[in-house]
């Protein structure tokens, strides 16, 4: 989960990106030859956005809830939303979600009226935009060309990005006919910016599968196509069946009963993935320490004006780096966004989605720390509610609670399976928090003062104030 995503999620309860090169114009597929083409839009040069909206197929009607656009002419899509995507934000919504399992006509509160007009994807970024009907035709064609025949017109269930996000990415669940589950998932983003991340995800999904055994390959979506259309990058990949750990946790009256299985599933997958992608073993020598410890701490000191307690934490971390010199470390692949919403479970099967931040060669700690911290921040400490980030972090990683016990077991067992000294976690946890605070600062530096909370900086300050390690007891 990106620092920006955490910021927007917690801002609801209580960015500037540098210009990147546009992704290549080539249309990619996971199998067969590369096709160089661009889908031609139906908007004429003189049409306005409003005229184009009025020309859209009026039979496609949608309702709106939270950041989702839900097709009304596809009962399977609405049911899928309630069971697999709807996250309660109050006890009342949690009760509605529970009742919907036995009373299918129950719908979320505050859903926009039937027939609400869906947006034009990419209108702000590209000056043109894609309507739902235009996108439906595009994805139907892409599915056929990927060898997935459709039985009728596809229906789309769309998730918009957080309000004000410079990423402007949309995730679309593609339903075939009257199917109860999506046939595929598409991602859209302006190709002059975040489209490069979609290109990176396509490459990661295509390349990672080649290095995994059959069992692990089944836990990663298969890329189907990468194209561009009216200034938008469009990535199409297979759908991961099941329910994310985040939705399962947030939609339960008794999340404590699920947490142990969630942590075991996350640790099991991560250990298998890191073992399969280990490329080398290095020692914590001066070069490795300078790159992975000293450099981020120095940048934090230079850019973030650390407090006295944070300064003491930084000094302790540097001292620990010297003490742990010559410890062995594996270089592994990094999934890059290993948080509960990206872990999808269907019975005993797990699938990990969202590979935009994949790195083929990294130290193993980023994914390891991201899961328990994000789990604690997302955890409903009271039914249907969130806790303050600092309180949730303290209860998860520092204090004593049922969840902190699971975190300690998760980390101890990971270290045992990977052959790592638990003391390395004491070194790399503050480094991880520093790196996330720096990422958060970069993504929110153009916001007005006080507009966006600095969640990761708050967690770093909390850790510095209380010290210790949440693994070594």
Q: Which residues contact 220 (CB under 8 A, 6 or more apart)?
A: 205, 208, 209, 212, 351, 352, 355
Nearest to 237 by CA among 247, 226, 252, 250: 226
Q: Is 116 helix (H, G, I), strand (E, B) or coil?
A: strand
Q: Tell whether the model's pLDDT for residue 127 goes beyond 60.
A: no
CA atoms of 398 and 421, how far apart (whole Å): 19
232-238 vs 68-71, strand pairing mode? unpaired
Which class for 16: exposed (0-12), middle (13-18), buried (19 or more C-beta within 10 A)?
A: exposed
Summarised one tens digit per residue, pLDDT across range 339-355 is 999 999 998 899 999 99
pTM for the whole structure: 0.85
CA atoms of 168 and 193, how far apart (whole Å): 9
CA atoms of 385 and 272, how far apart (whole Å): 33
Summarised one tens digit per residue, pLDDT across range 216-275 is 999 999 999 999 888 889 999 999 999 999 999 999 999 999 999 999 999 999 999 999
Q: C-alpha dihedral over 208, 209, 213, 219, to 10 degrees?
A: 100
Percent of the chain with pLDDT over 90: 56
Q: Decide: 396 and 405 in contact? Cβ < 8 Å.
A: no
Q: Tell whether the model's pLDDT for residue 112 goes beyond 90.
A: no
- Mean residue pLDDT of the chain comes to 82
Domains of the chain (ranges plus CATH)? 3-60+118-239 (3.30.200.20), 245-466 (3.90.1200)
Summarised one tens digit per residue, pLDDT across range 356-414 is 999 999 999 999 999 999 999 999 998 888 899 999 999 999 998 989 999 999 999 99
b/e sequence 349-375, b meaning 16+ C-beta within 10 Å: ebbbbbbbbbeeebbbbbbbbbbbbbb
Between 103-107, 294-298, 385-389, the lowest mean confidence (pLDDT) is in 103-107
CA atoms of 423 and 323, how far apart (whole Å): 10
The CA angle 342-343-347, to the nearest 5 degrees, is 145
């Amino acid at each position: 989960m990106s620092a920006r995503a955490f910021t927007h999620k917690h801002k609801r309860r209580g960015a500037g990106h540098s210009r990147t090169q546009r992704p290549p114009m080539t249309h990619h597929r996971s199998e067969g030859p590369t096709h160089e083409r661009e889908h031609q839009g139906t908007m004429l040069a003189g049409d306005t956005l409003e005229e184009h909206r009025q020309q859209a197929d009026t039979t496609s009607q949608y309702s709106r809830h939270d950041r989702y656009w839900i097709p009304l002419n596809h009962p399977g899509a609405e049911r899928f939303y309630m069971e697999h995507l709807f996250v309660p934000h109050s006890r009342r919504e949690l009760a509605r979600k529970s009742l919907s399992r036995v009373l299918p006509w129950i719908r979320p509160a505050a859903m926009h009226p039937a027939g609400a007009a869906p947006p034009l994807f990419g209108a702000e970024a590209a000056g043109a935009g894609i309507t739902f009907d235009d996108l439906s035709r595009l994805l139907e064609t892409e599915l056929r060309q990927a060898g997935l025949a459709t039985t009728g017109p596809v229906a789309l269930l769309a998730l918009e990005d957080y309000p004000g996000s410079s990423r402007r990415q949309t995730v679309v669940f593609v339903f075939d006919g009257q199917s109860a589950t999506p046939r595929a998932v598409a991602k859209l983003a302006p190709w002059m910016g975040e489209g490069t991340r979609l290109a990176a995800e396509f490459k990661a999904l295509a390349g990672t599968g080649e290095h995994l055994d059959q069992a692990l390959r089944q836990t990663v979506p298969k890329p189907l196509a990468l194209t561009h259309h009216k200034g938008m990058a469009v990535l199409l990949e297979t759908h991961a069946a099941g329910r994310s750990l985040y939705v399962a946790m947030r939609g339960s009256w008794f999340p404590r009963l699920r947490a142990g299985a969630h942590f075991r599933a996350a640790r099991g997958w991560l250990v298998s993935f890191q073992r399969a992608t280990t490329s080398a073993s290095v020692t914590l020598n001066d070069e490795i320490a300078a790159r992975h410890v000293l450099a981020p701490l120095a940048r934090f000191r230079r850019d973030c004006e650390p407090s006295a307690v944070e300064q003491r934490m930084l000094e302790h971390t540097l001292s620990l780096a010297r003490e742990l010199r010559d410890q062995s470390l594996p270089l592994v692949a990094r999934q890059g966004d290993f948080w509960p919403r990206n872990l999808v479970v269907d019975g005993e099967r797990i699938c990990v989605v969202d590979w935009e931040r994949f790195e083929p060669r990294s130290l193993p700690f980023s994914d390891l720390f991201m899961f328990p911290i994000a789990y604690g921040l997302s955890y409903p400490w009271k039914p249907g509610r969130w806790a303050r980030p600092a309180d949730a972090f303290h209860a998860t990683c520092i204090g004593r609670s049922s969840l902190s016990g699971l975190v300690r077991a998760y980390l101890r067992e990971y270290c045992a399976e990977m052959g790592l000294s638990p003391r390395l976690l004491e070194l790399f946890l503050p480094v991880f928090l520093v790196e996330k605070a720096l990422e958060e600062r970069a993504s929110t530096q153009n916001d007005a003062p006080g507009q966006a909370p600095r969640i990761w900086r708050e967690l770093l300050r909390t850790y510095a104030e209380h010290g210790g390690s949440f693994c070594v007891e």
